Chain A
Amino acid sequence: MIELPVIDAASPAVGDPKQHFWRSLQDLRQDPHFKRLGHEEFMPGASDAPGGSSRRHFLQLMGASMALAGLTGCRRPVELTLPYSRKPEEIIPGIPLFYATAMPFRGVLSGLLVQSFEGRPTKVEGNPDHPVSQGASGLFEQASVLNLYDPDRSKHVLHDGNEASWGDFVAFCQGFLAQAATRKVAVLCEQTSSPTLNALRGRLAQVYPQLRWVTYAAEGDDPSRMGMQEAFGMALRPSYRFESAEVIVSLDADFLSPVDRNFVANTRGYAASRRMTSPQDDISRLYVVESTYTVTGGTADNRLRLRSSQIPAFAAALAVRLGVEGVQGVGAEFIDHPYVQAMERDLLRAGSNGVVLAGETQPASVHALCMAINKRLSSIGNTVFLYETNEEVKPAQAEQLQQLVFDMSNGSVDALLMIGVNPVYDMPGEIDFAGALQRVPTTIHLGTHQDETAAASGWHIPLTHYLEAWGDGRAYDGTLSVIQPLIAPLHDGKSEIELLHTFATGLDVSGYDLVREQWRTVLQGDFEMAWKKVIHDGFLPNSGFAAVDPALRPVSGASPYTIGGDEIEVVFRLDNKVLAGSFSNNAWCQELPDPATKVVWDNVALMSPATADRLGLEVPYDKGMHYADVVEIAAAGGAVQLPIWILPGHADNSVTVTLGYGRQIVSHRPERITNFFDTDDKTDIYGKGAVATGVGVNVTSLRTPGAMRIATGATVRKVSSGYLVATTQDHGYMEGRPFYRMATVDTYREDPGFAADAIKTLPGGEPWTDYPALWQERHPTTEPALKDNPYHAYQWGMVIDLNTCTGCNACVVACQSENNIQVVGKDQVSRGRELSWLRMDRYFVSEAGQEANPKMVMQPVMCMHCENAPCESVCPVAATVHSPDGTNQMIYNRCIGTRYCANNCPYKVRRFNFYNWSKTLPLEVHMVQNPNVTVRSRGVMEKCSFCIQRVRQANIRTSLENRAIQDGEVKTACQQACPAGAIVFGNINDPNSHVSKARQDNRRYEMLAELSTKPRTSYLGRVMNPNPELEAATA
């Protein structure tokens, strides 16, 4: 286990109020007004956590940005070196520290390990010791660090729109407490698992007897939880063990998507059930029935596209066939469906190793039904575990909301607290929340941004980022964690618990003390020791929920939907990149290509080609740009207009839309205005207010409290055309070129070398590998300069297992965060100038006659680090060269930008800086950049470096310790994030390294090996396990 520093809150040196922790950017910039505030505002708890100041490094960054602005050429600018006044114990400048903490995500925590340079958090990783995360993380964890440095975060307390101070609010609370007994207080709180917060809720209930507490999630109820209540009459949380599953049936369940609350564990489990080391290994079979194409659907062996509103009937049919008692006479239309029959046979064969699960779009009844089926298969306790969360049994959120809004509008709510929610933005269209809000005398909003709700509230308190404030909570499996901040709040932020406590008591107590108090009741034995250990480890071992197997209540299986043949349904999903809006002001997420559509900076209405034809809609592709038709979608709640996107494999007569777009976030930064000859205003994505503002359309008004996930009977009509949609991949088909290679289990067993055999040898049977390469004589790698080099002992290589890769995008964001990859904006992406080093290629593959149901495959592609790299020989200034450890390195400061290397790269993985992207970045955003990686300037090429900075750190570390680099000691950012463990990186000189073993796998192949580029990155062909009977049936 890694040695992690412990933050010793008790040690006087750190608590010393003289110590300078900068609290905000004004403070950094030595704003005198702020300096004055500095000390009286200082709260012992708030700032003793991070330890250390970032000023020094921050100024270095400033130097960097200045240099990047073009000063490098001139005589150097005067550089200041700012040492600490008193050095915090554990900090050594230049050496990063790792702190264990946790990120709240949709009501659960994911355990993290966060890298910090002189107190400046720069990179998020999964906590290797945490039972759920086990070192892996998803794209939201990776992207969350950018939220911390979001330049448009709310910076001040607002009262009726005017800047106020936290002190004013404390005073207000004290006044408000006067007649607490008579006050009708309602709290609208985000999903949370924090024991401290729950304790405060109890405390609040004592102070305000008429307290009403509504837990609010923009997407609506958690149907799985409601389903458990329906099936077992108690609050249970299902957790799936796919590693022991043989047959998995997913009913619109996108359990491999980072949106899923248990994404990391699901992916790890599923990957385990698919990993093959020899043709003899058995792998699981995944059935997916879904309306749109998800990453889970992409990994499915057999996928059925079906309208989400028909899936309940499908589930019922399956239940009937499997003989779940009490379920009769339902799902008639699917009872003889080949898929239902195939699933029945497979599930019965698999018995307790089978598992059926339903997705978030499905009503509670379907989730209940699935549990009944799992019961029937007696897979509970084997592939399904039911955690007893001990939460109270809740009525449906919709009823609570309607009641609350009703009371608000007839004036029977005195005060409304909105904790970390944005109801004005995401409340369903039918509910006039904004109107009702005006009728409440006291409204308090705690939020990260001055967003829609902040504007409509009396009080607005900036909400801290999880890296700024103390907190706690439970992981999906119930493991308790303390959220440890790494930096003092950048702005006047307050955490949920701090606000609630102040509201309940009128006292201003630091979150640190609140959490400590709470944990005194949690921890046994010597508190200080245990407390330190928890903070150090990042979690409390063995604090997970107990698994139970309660008796099942009768389930009917009747579908709530009756939908006509070509009646159109609208399905609302959380966005794969911005959730319901919590990540929509994050530029990394906005520019992250959607896994299925590759669309960036927009939300689109997805539909199948057939449906588009029927409605006379199209997305013409002209001169490299997609100009989509814009449609008006009308449903019970209301109508919205948004561009369409045609997605092969989407269910017919179904339209998928995602939440989280069309935000209105107030930005106080001036708009960038430049001279007529300067293009900075066009290229600066932060130049026109908040990143999220004006991106996409808010679709929530289509929803009604009754139909939060699916709206049936919708009408779609074309209103205009020619809306530019930016994608990172124009061409979706592989043109029969063997880049992505896969086979069925049977084929693999017959021909284990199927992947390698996809390429014909040269005429005369000469294998490609023996084919003489350009510059074969005096090949760079045989030159003494490389051979007599300390790095030559290690030869780095990578293997990517397409069998376990699901295309979840975690690696893409991890790479962006680690390597200072800049964001270029919608316009530039549409011109094909995105900078992502690691792109997720998405191809549609279909057998003849199956064009309507293509397979969707994902292939991560980054620099292949060819041994005969075509890019190297053509650079006129030797700016891209082979390193002694066998990687191909781009030397930014030598590059003059001829772009010849990019032209000559067969994999097209090189990215060119057409503009100076870092020049226009706001100060805050500069702070997220990794000091170990050069920030590229304008006019230079860049590409994947195999995270050479990490390799070099290891080289130096080991040479100081006088030892060799261990296998697995160096992990690339993508590899470290990957929850599926699909990426293996290491020294191919060492025959025992994981990567060497992976290279022995007979599924291994190299892309474009026939060019004799000898890539260091190779792939393991994918093995599918489709049901042969079905193949016969559908063919």
Chain B
Amino acid sequence: MPQSFSKGANSLPALSLVGALFSGVFLIGFVWYYFSPEFIDVGHAPTQPVPYSHRLHVGQLGLDCRYCHTNVEVSPLANVPDTQTCMNCHTQIKPESTKLLPVRESWASGEPVEWVKVNYMAEYVQFSHAVHVNQGVGCETCHGRIDQMEVVSQVEPLSMGWCLECHRQPELYLRPKEEVTTMGYVHPADFVQRNLDRVANEGITPPTNCSACHY
């Protein structure tokens, strides 16, 4: 009976071992990236009932974030504005616009406008906007250049690892409190040093323990 395998097949065992090793590493890498929020969630940009343009309102008209998101400095939740806030202006400006129809309906009926959540956080994460905003974490740092977004989308993974990047080295991200809502803020050259001083003086020590956010 002839040999069923050529001489070349002698390297097969070695090759298959190496192959298994590589595929194992590849698999882990694959799961690591493609199953992570960084891949799944970033870029989530749902269509809203009202085509509200942040680019127009923030970018061009230069509204401050806090004009609509009124509670961001006092409450865990950065509230979505009530219809009243919209109507403050839109009773005069574009009162007939068809795009604003849902808003006017809500105003008439008392039923809320059903905005779709963009930045979603799991139920077991306890996050407070107030505490971050008041320590000088810019809106932009987590939400990106809202002022350039026609449709708002999620720009950061909001994963635990991502949170920890800043909680471990706040000096790389903090900005002066008065600049919190600034879009496209440019850090001064020595900002790391300044922040380190702030961290030291104001005792800004973001917790990295589990029960800071999970309970």
Contacts and interface: CB of A to CB of B under 8 A. Distances in A.
Interface string B98-134: 0000000011111111111100101110101011001
B74 A92 contact: yes
B77 interface: yes
A298 interface: no
Given A83-B115, A85-B112, A894-B214, A934 B209 contact: no
A824 B211 CA distance: 27
A932 B211 CA distance: 13
Contact of B116 (A78, A85, A894): A78
A945 B214 CA distance: 11
Interface string A308-334: 000000000000000000000000000
A789 B208 contact: yes
A933 B79 CA distance: 20
Contacts of A81: 80, 114-117
B205 to A, nearest CB: 5
A351 interface: no
Contacts of B77: 93-94
A72 B106 CA distance: 31
B205 A76 contact: no
A93 B71 contact: yes
A1000 to B, nearest CB: 28
Interface stretch (A558-566, A599-607, A883-891): A883-891
A911 interface: no
Interface string B33-71: 000000011000010000000000000000000000001
A667 B7 CA distance: 80
B215 interface: yes
Nearest to A66: B123
B108 to A, nearest CB: 8
Given A64-B123, A67-B123, A85-B110, A956 B128 contact: yes
A790 B203 CA distance: 8
Contact of A83 (B46, B76, B81): B81
Contacts of B116: 78-81
A839 B115 CA distance: 44
Nearest to B110: A20
B169 interface: no
Of listed A78, A788, A960, residue having the most chain B CB within 10 A: A960
Contact of B205 (A789, A935, A948, A949): A789
A63 B117 CA distance: 12
B25 interface: no
Contacts of B111: 20, 85
Contacts of B171: none
B193 interface: no
B31 to A, nearest CB: 13
Interface in B63-96: 71, 74-77, 79-84
A785 B110 contact: no
Given A80-B115, A83-B80, A959 B123 contact: no
Interface size bracket, B side: 35 or more
B29 interface: no
B209 A84 contact: no
A934 B214 contact: yes
B149 interface: no
A892 B76 contact: no
Contacts, number: 145
A75 interface: yes
B210 interface: yes
B18 interface: no
A253 to B, nearest CB: 42
A94 B110 contact: no
A881 interface: yes
B215 A934 contact: yes
Given A95-B75, A884-B209, A959 B131 contact: yes
A786 B209 contact: yes
A623 interface: no
Contacts of A95: 71, 74-76
A900 interface: no
Contact of A80 (B83, B106, B114, B211): B114
A815 to B, nearest CB: 14
A33 interface: no
Contact of A18 (B110, B124, B128, B131): B110
A90 to B, nearest CB: 12
B207 interface: yes
Given A80-B115, A790-B205, A894 B126 contact: no
B134 A960 contact: yes
A956 B211 CA distance: 13
B124 A83 contact: no
A20 B105 CA distance: 13
Given A94-B75, A94-B77, A934-B123, A85 B215 contact: no
Given A85-B110, A790-B203, A952-B211, 20 more contacts: A20-B112, A79-B116, A79-B117, A81-B80, A81-B116, A83-B113, A86-B110, A93-B77, A94-B77, A789-B207, A790-B205, A883-B209, A889-B211, A893-B214, A933-B215, A934-B123, A948-B211, A949-B215, A952-B212, A960-B74
29 contacts: A55-B112, A67-B123, A72-B122, A75-B40, A79-B120, A80-B117, A83-B80, A85-B111, A86-B83, A86-B84, A87-B82, A93-B71, A93-B77, A94-B76, A94-B79, A95-B74, A786-B209, A889-B210, A889-B214, A889-B215, A934-B214, A945-B211, A949-B215, A952-B126, A952-B212, A952-B215, A956-B130, A960-B74, A960-B130
Which 10 A-B residue pairings sit nearest by Cβ, starting from the closest? A94-B77, A79-B117, A889-B211, A20-B110, A893-B124, A84-B82, A94-B75, A83-B80, A94-B76, A82-B112
Interface of B: 40-41, 46, 71, 74-77, 79-84, 106-117, 120, 122-124, 126, 128, 130-131, 134, 203, 205-212, 214-215
Interface of A: 18-20, 55-56, 63-64, 67-68, 72, 75-76, 78-87, 92-95, 785-786, 788-791, 881, 883-884, 887, 889, 891-894, 932-935, 945, 948-949, 952, 956, 959-960
